[in-house]
Structure 1
Amino acid sequence: MYKLNEKVDRINTSSLKWDGMKLAFGKNELLPMWVADMDFSPPTSVIEKLKERMDHGVFGYTIANENTAQAIVDWTNNRHGWEIRPEWILYSPGVVPSIGMAIQAFTEVGDKVLLQSPVYTPFFNMIENNMREVVNSPLQLVNGRYEIDFADFEEKLKSGVKLFLLCSPHNPGGRVWKKEELVKIAELCKKYDVLIAADEIHADIIFEPHHHFPLASLDPAYQDFVVTFMAPSKTFNLAGLQASFIVAPNEEMRKKLTIIQQTLNLTSLNTFGMIAMEAAYRDGEEWLNECIAYIEGNINMIDEEISRSLPELDVMRPEGSYLVWIDCRKTGLNDQQLRESLLEKAKLAVNFGASYGKGGEGFIRLNPACHRSIVEEGLERLKIAFGS
């Protein structure tokens, strides 16, 4: 058993989640249930390996060796049934930088890049910051879960889109796309000669009976136009160590990404990020399974208490990821009023849905990857915000 129920004090550790609220919300006196990192210590094996390296005492330039690549290969095979090759792997400090690299590698200034809102805010930022055009095919909310409007998706692909950014599992809605949905996405992109950059950073955190399928694994032909972004950062709470990887089976696409990496001099991992990644993928599965069970208990609590005490809120129960997307539209509050109720009245920090694009208005994203007492306090603060 791991000490997932041990409350860790993160204040004054330069934690974005705990110490960065003033920057994000104008005040620190809030209960932080916002940015997507956990309050849990990572697997013991990760900490032990980091301590071993610390004791060595020399921290010069580091190269990712074949052991790191093999750990990734074994993890993707064992966890997802996807057999990749070490030579397909490129390293990156994070998935968001990888998205930027893909946009620069596969499109030109002014090109159209497709996304599906509501979606992780940096999708918009990276397209716009790289002077490309955002093309949006909004997801449809059907019976409390998101579905893809494939007619609209195809029309948008026809408009001259060069690259599609797929969020799988979906953030913030928590959808784990079914195999048939992913195949339809891939076949349409193939038909219209659109490349796919698949953000699969939440792939390891899936709730039964759902199953994550890496898009590129579903057909060998898809490997010619799909690159995949993964990382141990969400899975094992290692975001601050800045270690992720890109799987690019197609040699031409891999070369284009490598050129961008070399242009930016982002071709390697930092010493501790590399060690943590390898250790987590080698020995972290038991910890992860316990972590998923603990988080699911928190989600159950949120779902049950909101259903009982706050019926004007609708919880979109996640199929994957540890984020809870809550529909607040029946409260009648606009986005500014939502902010005032939650931040000023309830002193609760959440992510507000409007920042995720069309379809996010009137929603909030809540992070329950924390000690259960924080979830309990968060629910009481929701009642303060929305109670009569």
Structure 2
Amino acid sequence: MKKDFFNNKINRINTNSVKWDRMENLFGKKDLLPFWVADMDFAAPEEVVKEIAKRVDHGVFGYTTPTESTNESVRSWVQKRHEWNIEADWITYSPGIVFAISMAIQAYTQKGDSILIQPPVYTPFFEMVKVNERKLIESPLYLKGDRYSIDFSSFEKQLASGVKMFILCSPHNPIGRVWKRGELEKIAELCKKYDVLILSDEIHSDLVYKPSVHIPISSLNEDAENRTITCIAPSKTFNVPGLQASAIIIPNNELREKYQQQQHKQGFFTLNTFGTIGLEAAYTHGEIWLNELLAYLQENIDFTRSFIKKNLPSLKVINPEGTYLLWIDCRALNMSDEDLHNLLLTKGGIAVESGVKYGAAEGKGFIRLNIGCPREQLKEGLKKLKAALS
């Protein structure tokens, strides 16, 4: 792959891009530079594009289904990248992880049951619990310096209140934490103690920076394996979310059957043709591309932190151990979230995610910035950020 691959700026306007073409609907302005939704501005790996193009050239798009080679691509990937040995029959598929979260909530809990999350956290965690008429229970993470941690006293207290399911974000969006083994072991131990299922969203598991290491919580021990539903996808890793293909790994036969029955009730049977092809091609051929991406993203992170420290010293970037999303503390500005949001839009011409989306209290005074883009685009965005807040 050419060294300047990730510097190549691709025009995504008028491609039905949510990130680029929906800004006027969502932000009230269309002449903005987008750094909001978790969607990178890089082309997918060449092998993924070639495999999809080859299927397009075939010209027949009848019913298709994942095959043994699709399962093998998933199995080999998680073994090589995360040292987790799984069986092919543990894998089922989903058009997306948010869909999978909803299916798991419906399959394993009843209306009124309590489900625990850890804000500030990915917005659909809140939404899927509420829309499925379950009771939302929160155990907020706490920030000390520039690092978030789990309040295990609060966590256990909430589990003991009758929680049926815990939704884990690993690595964590938006704060960028990659949980250490000891933290995961404590989570698993407490979930065993109170007999709580673990639904682990590990969509960002491949986007981890050294020396941090992603550990699938299901891989810890036999009990964790038997109470965990793990959700992974090539979508964030290889920038193919539009292909709508995710792999759900459920080692426990009974839990897997319940999940698949719930999918069947919703009329879901298989992935679309291009989702299957893209998933398999990414996991089979994408490792070199990913390694180079991680190096580029780390440079983007370093550049952003250096720029903000020099030009906007009142802001504080929470150092990410994973993901391409920066969680930025703007509380020293002493501005309301609404005023900050409007200033970035009107004076800066930049679209970012407001922190309150990830927790009304926990996200107050924060923004989330997506640095998954060419360096020149990032530089332009940071200049806009400076112009808005200077």
TM-score bin, normalised by smaller chain: over 0.9
1:326 partner letter: I
Q: Cα deviation per residue 1:37-56 (whole Å; 9 max; x = unaligned)?
A: 11101111001100110010
Deviation at 1:137, TM superposition (A): 0.2
Kindly report which structure 2 residues correspond to 1:154-165, keeping only aligned pairs within 5 A, or say none.
154-165=156-167
> Does residue 138 of the first structure (1) align with residue 179 of the second (2)?
no
Q: Distance in 2 between matches of 1:89 and 1:118?
A: 29
User: Is the partner of 1:227 in helix, strand or coil?
Assistant: strand
For 1:260, the aligned partner's letter is Q
Pick from 279, 285, 288 the counterpart of residue 286 of structure 1.
288
Q: Distance in 1 between the 2:264 and 2:176 partners?
A: 34
- Local SS of the residue matching 1:359: coil
Superposition pairs of residues 188-337 of structure 1, within 5 angstroms: 188-337=190-339
- SS class of match (1:343): helix
In structure 1, what is the equivalent of residue 386 of structure 2?
383
Q: Contact 2:115–2:134 (CA<8 Å) still a contact in 1?
A: yes
Aligned to 1:25: 27
State the number of aligned residues.
387
Q: Distance in 1 between matches of 2:346 and 2:8?
A: 29
Q: Which runs of 5+ in 2 are unaligned?
A: none
Question: Partners in 2 of 1:41 and 1:157 — Cα distance?
Answer: 42
Question: Percent same amino acid at aligned positions?
Answer: 53
- Deviation track 1:350-370 (CA, whole Å, cap 9, x = no partner) reads 000001013111100000100
Aligned-pair CA distance for 1:224: 1.0
Asked if 1:80 corresponds to 2:66, the answer is no
Report the aligned-residue RMSD: 0.7
Distance 2:189 2:81 in 1: 25
**CA displacement, residues 280-337 of structure 1 (integer Å, 9 cap, x when unaligned):** 1011000001111111111111000100111100001210011100000000111111
- In 2, the alpha carbon distance for the partners of 1:24 and 1:276 equals 29
- On the 8 A contact 2:207/2:323 being kept in 1, the answer is yes
Whole-angstrom CA distance in 1 between matches of 2:199 and 2:28: 34
Q: Which residue pairs with 1:173 in the alignment?
A: 175
Q: Secondary structure at the match of 1:381?
A: helix
Which runs of 4 or more aligned residues in structure 1 lie more than 2 Å from their structure 2 counterparts after TM superposition? none
Quick check: 1:119 aligned with 2:91? Answer: no
Given candidates 343, 346, 350, the residue that maps to 1:344 is 346
Find out whether 1:182 has 2:184 as its counterpart: yes
Alignment partners' CA distance in 2, 1:352 and 1:323: 13
Q: Secondary structure at the match of 1:4?
A: helix
The Cα shift of 1:378 comes to 1.0
Is residue 370 of structure 1 aligned with residue 373 of structure 2?
yes
CA distance in 1, matches of 2:167, 2:388: 35
Q: CA shift at 1:384, angstroms?
A: 1.2
Tell me the TM-score normalized by structure 2.
0.98
In 1, the alpha carbon distance for the partners of 2:143 and 2:269 equals 40
Distance between the aligned counterparts of 2:19 and 2:77, measured in 1? 28
TM-score under structure 1 normalisation? 0.99
User: Aligned AA for 2:179?
Assistant: W
Residue of structure 1 equivalent to 2:6: 4
Distance (Å, rounded) in 2 between the aligned partners of 1:127 and 1:216: 22
- Taking the aligned partners of 1:38 and 1:340, their CA distance within structure 2 comes to 24
The one-letter amino acid paired with 1:363 is: F
Alpha-carbon distance in structure 2 between the residues aligned to 1:265 and 1:237: 27
Once the two structures are TM-superposed, the CA of residue 267 in structure 1 deviates from its matched residue by 2.6
SS at match of 1:221: helix
